[in-house]
Amino acid sequence: MTQAIRETDLYQPVKMFFEAQGYEVKSEVCGCDVVAIKANNPITIIELKTRFNLELLLQGVDRLSYSNTIYLAILESPNSGLKNRLNKVKKLCYILGFGILLVTIPVDKVGYVTTILEPASSRLSNNKRKSKKLSKEFQNRCGDLNTGGSTRIPIMTAYRQNALRVLNSLQNGRKTIAELREQTGINNIGNILQRNFYGWFLRTERGVYELSTEGLKSTQKYAHVIRELTNPYK
């Protein structure tokens, strides 16, 4: 029995499609499935769905607050919601300003993307504050450690990456904030330690920290991510 294709299966073909055009691509940034950035080009946002539906349209409308260049990437299949109404879907997306990408995933082969409609100018203006926030989060992340279309799993944000760098630095024993700042290069490290969002850190005395029991467990849980973050050749 053929396994059902998920939203996450659309991510790699879409990522490759934009990387081939010179974009840097990262997933799950500020709630956006896929974000592609290229010098002298507007931020491009792509939302992934295995079928065309109202939820996808509403996601696209929400993403217009970040950028006016929005694509809806839809799986090519009999159940995609496009069959027999493609012209109407294209007209609706044109009115809203959305582009349409059709993602084909052959059995046991690498998927590919076909552009059905390019984004048009939207009547809605993006929020400069939210657009700046999206760009900052994109730039502050190391690599692309998420998969576009993921749900109900922790997202590897820039904040979590920095917390993991601190976690890694504390594996060899307690350290002062100054020592940790020097080793990690993180300027707001005091905020990360004091906030202790993930419960990984313990203050042993003023300005000195070590790993909590949860922190020690997390060094194993996130060992593969820490290797990615601390690899000098990446």
| 1, part of any domain | no
| 46, part of any domain | yes
d(CA 42, CA 71): 13
Q: What would the two tokens of residue 17 be?
A: 């499609």
d(CA 178, CA 192): 13
Helix (H) / strand (E) element for 49: namely strand 44-49
| 92, part of any domain | yes
Both 13 and 121 in one domain: the answer is yes
- Give the number of residues written for the chain: 234
| 152, part of any domain | no
DSSP code at position 4? P
Both 121 and 16 in one domain: the answer is yes
The order of strands in the sheet holding 32-37 is 24-29, 32-37, 44-49, 69-75, 98-104, 112-117
**Tens-level pLDDT at each residue, the chain (234 residues):** 457 889 999 999 999 999 999 999 999 999 999 999 999 898 999 999 999 999 999 999 999 999 999 999 999 988 777 878 889 999 999 999 999 999 999 887 789 999 999 998 766 667 889 999 999 999 999 999 999 988 878 899 999 999 999 999 999 899 999 999 999 999 899 999 999 999 999 999 999 999 999 999 999 999 999 998 887 555
Determine contact, residues 71/43, Cβ cutoff 8 Å: no
Q: Residue 78 has what pLDDT?
A: 81
Nearest residue to 14 (alpha-carbon basis) of 6, 22, 30, 25 = 25
pTM: 0.87
From residue 195, give the alpha-carbon distance in Å to each of 163, 178, 199, 227: 11, 17, 9, 24
| 149, part of any domain | no
Both 119 and 163 in one domain: the answer is no
Containing structural domain, residue 181:
158-230
Both 41 and 97 in one domain: the answer is yes
Q: Residue 1 has what pLDDT?
A: 42
Q: Which of 100, 134, 168 is the last residue of a domain?
A: 134
Q: What would the two tokens of residue 27 be?
A: 């997933």
Both 130 and 165 in one domain: the answer is no
| 139, part of any domain | no
Both 42 and 106 in one domain: the answer is yes
State how many domains the chain has. Answer: 2
Residue 127 dihedral angles phi and psi, to the nearest 5°: -80, 115
CATH code, 210: 1.10.10.10
d(CA 187, CA 180): 10
Both 39 and 105 in one domain: the answer is yes
Determine contact, residues 68/77, Cβ cutoff 8 Å: no
Both 31 and 84 in one domain: the answer is yes
CATH code, 48: 3.40.1350
Both 110 and 17 in one domain: the answer is yes
